[in-house]
Structure 1
């Protein structure tokens, strides 16, 4: 029986009749001018009308969206139902493992396991597993793919099982590209339609288990990143709640100057927006400068949404969007439908569109952007190219807490010799580039910067420049289209000559899969105690992420990656110092090899066509012979293999049985760690290589897994036994309880013995002692990985108290039954005198717990004194409170499905 009180409209869009929910109708009913709403709110309004069942979405919810005001004291939670979900394999494998575990648990309870199945379309793109083991050679990609399949046989067998076991699931096999670029160029239809006689049409919306999911906002598709826990809820037709957002308008004016790259623009915006403070906000771009940006430029800006802290960076659908859809081979009928539907809904931006009303406006002049890089430790730390040398040299002596390296005077001139294969030697010093990677969908999705990189390579080769063999160079495009147009444009051969051969189609170096540096280079870095540098066209450069041997990591446009590789160092002033010496010893400056905008545009027009896209994506779901040759297990329930080191049934449902009445157990707590600011999800749950001496490495060795076969933490996320041991195992982690020792260590209380965090957690667990973590600002910044919440839960952590949380991680903590609490303004662990030796009593009454409520904490010190202070509950919605009371989202969702 139809329960939606809004009437469907019927209209002819293109050559077919469709049903749709008109947001103009809501404007009339609620007496509001829809044309002044932010475009992203219009998308939410349509979703609310379509899903208005009087239960999870009520008429009041629709009314509040139709009446959305730029400033409001109350922003109530809203149930969001995405049209689809996208997963990458590092987060997608654990999602599928969780679904398989839910089926197993449902069968144990006597229910129907098949009810655990995605209710909406799900795409899983395998892009995170390829590593740059080989680079700088013509056969690098062949070797890397071979090793990828050898390493990931168990995981890929499991995914082939999932593909046949679950309906509504499509898998993009390895070597097809990076999730967000594939989503942008192929997967997103921009509007969805049902298979009815008269189809229902509605906007494509998306949740993705990767923090860079907002890249699709550049295409006019509303979506954002979530943890795998929330993704499962969405897949199983459960609402994902968000607080109705403030929308900040970013008003763009001007145009980029000659020589400035879109990457430079993105790094400027990241710096400004992070400083402004846009966490949990929706951003929407408008103004005349919008017409100066290509769709690829917009997608780059949207891609780095998590780096600036916002939830969404939305660009409305307009003529640029429609042109891009045609270029990428979407098909005339689909593009015509999009244009007609968005026009009828008042969702299409045109020259006649009124500027929406925003919560606040940030002015940004494109003409003020200058060439830049970002680093050496955070993506928001932009440095003007002209200041890079001085800034880097200054960082050598700056405090580690001030983005420096704190080197003593006597070590500033350290150098080290590298013995090269040809018998020659090379000298490394602080700032020597040892890793240069053109990587990441952030940049490889944009032909402007990719062609620019090729042109820099061409001019450098023609000038007689080369790259030192001490530098590991690689190129890993986000789609096969990139390789095709670099080849057809004639530029790939010049990149090849400099060592930037295609080494894989996947995330690679951007997520830490940079592969090993040569032993001679590593030994030289260690012997000289050098601050070696990596330069990459990625979106993140957190400590320990790119490579364990590069302490300085800089984000740069692809042409600047080539330039820094040619120079061989980051302590260079490109304006006044040559990149290198060319033919006959002639100095060659960056300005001599930098392409003009005209050169780039001319090449783009000649080499990038719709045929490239349709050809590259014709078999995107088929996979190569290696994928096709994998055995496919049948059956709707997964048969767990006890000896597997990759896939194990997780213990969440067993452990949560004892975690109802959560508040009753938050007494006599011990602190497992005390952190400062900007602890990332990479710090909490690393994605890169597993050290043989780490708790995870020791565990794998105990199972006779050789270190060469450890693979990465990211690839082991289907095995909780590896991952719990890897929690807080980042080599660059600084736990203030560990007496200055870096890595996954803590002081076990009350005796203060320094041991691994994992070992300490087991000792506390044996004694039945619940655990807490204290942290500073921006706790959980970075990737969306839910293992940064799952791991702490399995360590016995029940509470995290921080000065502030990043959005996705806070939600993940709540989803795993960990209580996120926030210090009151002006307070933190140091100001309260907390050092981790205290025991905590946290006064939580499950019956009265509600979003934002104050909670009293008592800290009992060793000397017998007791300090009491208030914190704020950061369970932000009533639904999160419900999940918390049931021990987390997964058991709560399973309970809901079982009861239906």
Structure 2
């Protein structure tokens, strides 16, 4: 079904040649000389698009400028505020501000709608595009209105992926978008490129989520595509409608790849033409010879309905395999969930076995992955004439945009779903991050959404609440609904998968979207609600940094949802200090109190009242016998094995920073975007190999840290201030650009621009 090569691979006129000692001879036989082989890495689609957007003059150290950007209402206030504090005058490219995350305006009083009006005023002031609440989820709007062949788009949401439309899109933290707004570049080493070679044709009942989960299951845990570009090629592409391709593409985020790109064809052209943008089409394909850092082969005909059990999209089984080993797999999942919850709550799944089958409690089809026209059409066909019953099980469906809703209304699909008991909602991302359709305690929800991390469905294990999400395709969710909530693959249902032709009606956009690109009015006043606060002052990096470990996390992976919870806390994301109160609240509830205590220590030090006993311990460190409090700074730090998987939300870093954090220490960082967020907020992204020499509450001194930052980053000397005396150890920093070093020295991106 899915296999991965063990070496790099050459794609030579449709043939695969393994990159080994025999490759030159094999490629020569195909007509490729030594020069062509040496430059084969330039033959990928990704290479051409990246170099077309590169402003560095160096093909290896890229400085990218994007064609457009997109943010939603969890992130755009902070981004505009950051750019505004750094000298923003106008939006230099189309910047789309959507309102699909904080749409439930009852949460937190007026503050969500205050954020929306801030966004509209910013679009008017700086020349942006404003998409009101309930009109479209961020990624569907960008697919419909902005993605095009050869373009690059940057978004402040991790699922910014438009590769199926020939666009290389990247999800990043808000600091990177602020840089673009200020005319700066996105700096990254040229990424590796992994080919995803599609063959065959999916069988009836298998949808894009099934293919996506099969790929995620094969490549996530081994890091096969981490921080690389996934390039989709092969004859199987021609067997997939455009929305099917997009459904696979948007889930590539869960592999931890940097971006994605697909070969384009007449199917791509037809989609763009249907949306009034046929001129944005151009054919994209690898050159006659292209080198890839790896090859993922996917036989679409062998993919079967899949399920990703709690609590990660990589916890993948075929539904057939799950049903055949139900008790064993569910018990293992329970144990894994218990370990993640740290004993705070326990998810009971085995008790949901009923006559040898799994009964689920809720179904949701929503968002940028599930809410597309074709998914909902097939779900409606499967459910036609049937119902999920009037018990606990319920199905809710969220079309991804108003044009999608209108097309489904015209072809009768919405009526069929409602007749079967489904409830229809407006375009909203809430079910993807815990702000909509939160299930009951102990429930198992099956969802065609993007992510099923701990608490992603909205439960609060710290309060004894726990629920689970299993990711599935809309087709199997409809089949399960038809079977009264008993888990059922869509391949068990005999139905006609023919999808009525889609008609794009953009009248709702023409009526409601504010399109102000190039028409900014700098005299326009920003609409600042009472919850919208400026960023607090942040100090530059001191000469010598004293860290105190304020959280010590040994989980294999720590998600951004655990660093700063999603759900109802999103209402406070325009208030840096208000939101910071929720930092690590579901993973380490004592963290905020510890961080504030360390912040108070730093305030005492700045006032000349630092602890004499602590200074005596610092003086025992070699070379530090004469240090004074004026030459030191105290900051908190978290230790985690692999932090940052998941969302691009910069608040996972900024909340630590406004509480006085100065660094993270990790074995590795799960994603580039989280590490970038740390850097842009002035926190040193240290890495540590080998045993951890410190624990919770320990002090770690990094002497001459400013000097170290300018030198060899592979070996940064540090000392644990143990009661027995200082213990020397070494950390490292992965390569930093000159700008990134200066941002860290200045204390944060805002300071960098102020001082620049």
Partner residue in 2 for 1:619: 511
Tell me the equivalent position of 2:156. Answer: 209
Q: Does residue 856 in structure 1 map to residue 693 in structure 2? A: no
The CA deviation string for residues 676-716 of structure 1, in whole angstroms up to 9 with x for no partner, is 22211111111212xxxxxxxxxxxxxxxxxxxxxxx2222
Give the equivalent residue in structure 1 for 2:125: 165
Give 2:97's match in structure 1, choosing from 118, 121, 124: 124
After superposition, the C-alpha distances for 1:272-330 in whole angstroms (9 at most, x for unaligned) are 12134121111111122222222222222221222101001111333221122123332
Matched, 1:39 2:45: yes
Distance 2:357 2:603 in 1: 46
Q: Are 1:725 and 2:578 counterparts?
A: no
Give 2:331's aligned residue. Answer: 394
Residue 156 of structure 2 is aligned to residue 242 of structure 1? no
| In 2: Cα distance, 1:668 partner to 1:378 partner | 32
Partner SS state of residue 619, structure 1: helix
Aligned partner of 1:94 in structure 2 is 78
Cα distance, 1:663 vs. partner? 5.1
Tell me, in whole angstroms, the C-alpha distance in 1 between the residues paired with 2:40 and 2:350: 64
The aligned counterpart of 1:183 is: 142
Q: What CA deviation, in whole Å up to 9, does each residue of 1:79-119 have, x standing for no partner?
A: 1111221111111122123334445xxxxxxxxxxx53222
The match for 1:440 is 367
State the distance in 2 between where 1:493 and 1:723 align.
41
Q: Does 1:552 align with 2:468?
A: yes
* Structure 2 counterpart of 1:604: 500
Counterpart of 2:590? 745
Identify the residue that residue 492 of structure 1 maps to in structure 2.
414
Output the CA distance in 1 between the equivalents of 2:204 and 2:196: 23
Q: Which residue of 2 aligns with 1:648?
A: 533
Distance 1:35 1:820, change over 3 A: closer
The answer to whether the 8 A contact 1:252-1:288 is kept is: yes
Question: In 2, Cα distance between the equivalents of 1:307 and 1:408?
Answer: 26
Per-residue Cα deviation, 1:124-152 (whole angstroms, up to 9, x for no partner): 11111224xxxxxxxxxxxxx89899663
Q: Equivalent residue for 1:889?
A: 749
Q: Residue in 2 aligned with 1:356?
A: 290
Q: Is the 8 A contact 2:164 2:242 kept in 1?
A: yes
- Which residues of structure 1 form unaligned runs of 5+? 1-28, 52-56, 66-75, 104-114, 132-144, 192-202, 343-347, 416-426, 526-530, 576-589, 624-631, 690-712, 736-743, 747-754
Partner of residue 367, structure 1? 301
3-state SS of 2:291 partner: coil
- Pair 514,766 (structure 1): closer, same or farther in 2 beyond 3 Å: same
TM-aligned CA distance change 1:555 to 1:688, over 3 Å? same
Which of 452, 458, 461 is residue 384 of structure 2 equivalent to?
A: 458
2:4 match = none
Q: What is the match of residue 609 of structure 2? A: none
SS in 1 for 2:230: strand
* Alpha-carbon distance in 2 for matches of 1:209, 1:410: 32
Alignment partner of 1:726: what SS?
coil
Are the structure 2 counterparts of residues 867 and 557 from structure 1 closer, same or farther at C-alpha, using a change threshold of 3 Å? same
Deviation at 1:508, TM superposition (A): 2.2
Contact 2:361 2:444 in 1 (8 A): yes
TM-aligned CA distance change 1:615 to 1:633, over 3 Å: closer
CA spacing shift, 1:591–1:814, aligned 2, 3 Å:
closer
Decide whether the 8 Å contact of 2:309 with 2:316 is kept in 1.
yes
- 1:461-513, Cα deviation, whole Å (9 max, x unpaired): 2xxx4334424532111112332333233222221133322222121211211
The whole-number CA distance in structure 2 between the counterparts of 1:221 and 1:149 is: 38
In the aligned structure 2, how far is the partner of 1:387 from the partner of 1:763?
55
- Indicate the RMSD between aligned Cα atoms, in angstroms: 3.4
The reply on whether 1:774 has 2:651 as its aligned counterpart is: no
C-alpha separation in 2, matches of 1:160 and 1:452: 36
The Cα of 1:613 is off from its aligned counterpart by 3.6
The answer to whether the aligner puts 1:380 opposite 2:314 as a matched pair is yes
Matched-pair contact (CA < 8 Å) for 1:208–1:224: yes
Query: Does structure 1 residue 716 correspond to structure 2 residue 538?
Result: no
Counterpart in 1 of 2:682? 817
State the shift of 1:765 in Å.
4.6
Equivalent-residue separation in structure 1 for 2:170 and 2:347 (angstroms): 48
Report the alpha carbon displacement of residue 45 of structure 1 after superposing the two structures with TM. Answer: 1.9
**Corresponding residue of 1:14:** none
Task: Confirm whether residue 222 of structure 1 aligns to residue 168 of structure 2.
Answer: yes
Judged with a 3 Å threshold, the aligned counterparts in structure 2 of structure 1 residues 80 and 495 are, in CA distance, closer, same or farther, namely: same
What's the CA shift for 1:538?
0.6
* Residues 753-781 of structure 1: CA deviation (Å, up to 9, x unaligned): xx84565455545545411111112x111
What secondary structure sits across from 2:188 in the alignment? strand
Cα distance in 2, alignment partners of residues 478 and 412 from structure 1: 30
The separation in 1 between residues aligned to 2:345 and 2:124, in whole angstroms, is 59
**Structure-2 separation of matches of 1:403 and 1:371:** 27
Q: Secondary structure at the match of 1:245?
A: coil
CA contact (8 A) 1:511 1:687 kept: yes
Indicate if the aligned counterparts of 1:640 and 1:649 stay in contact, CA closer than 8 A: no
What is aligned with 2:395?
A: 473
Residue aligned with 1:90, SS: coil
Partner of 2:221: 275
Q: CA deviation at 1:890?
A: 2.1
Residue matched to 1:297:
244
TM-score, length-normalised on structure 1? 0.69
Aligned residue number for residue 427 of structure 2: 505
Q: Distance in 2 between matches of 1:364 and 1:122?
A: 36
- Aligned partners of 1:604, 1:649: CA distance in 2, in Å? 49
- Specify which of 697, 700, 703 is matched with residue 840 of structure 1: 700
Q: Is the 8 A contact 1:302 1:312 kept in 2?
A: no
Residues 801 and 785 of structure 1: CA distance in aligned 2, closer, same or farther (over 3 Å):
same
CA distance in 2, matches of 1:408, 1:669: 29
Question: Relative to structure 1, is the Cα distance of residues 600 and 671 closer, same or farther in structure 2, using a 3 angstrom cutoff?
Answer: same
Give the direction of change, closer, same or farther, for the CA distance of 1:879–1:94 in structure 2 (3 Å limit): same
CA distance in 2 between partners of 1:675 and 1:811 (Å): 22
Give the corresponding residue for 1:707: none
Q: Secondary structure at the match of 2:362?
A: strand
- Counterpart mapping for 1:66-105 below 5 A: 76-102=60-86
Q: Is the Cα contact below 8 Å between 2:310 and 2:333 reproduced in 1?
A: no
Taking the aligned partners of 1:300 and 1:894, their CA distance within structure 2 comes to 42
Name the CA shift for 1:443/1:399 in 2 (closer, same or farther; >3 Å): closer
Alpha-carbon separation, structure 2, partners of 1:620 and 1:639:
19
1:181-208 Cα distance to aligned partner (Å, 9 max, x none) = 11111223x26xxxxxxxxxxx422111
Asked whether the 8 Å contact 2:457–2:468 carries over to 1, the reply is no
What does the per-residue CA deviation read over 1:589-614, in whole Å, with 9 as the maximum and x for residues that have no partner?
A: x666453xxx222x333xx13xx344
Q: How many correspondences in the alignment? A: 677
30 and 233 in structure 1: CA distance in 2 versus 1, 3 angstrom threshold: farther
Deviation at 1:542, TM superposition (A): 0.7
Provide Cα deviations, 1:542-572, integer angstroms capped at 9, x if missing partner: 11111215522111111222344455657x5
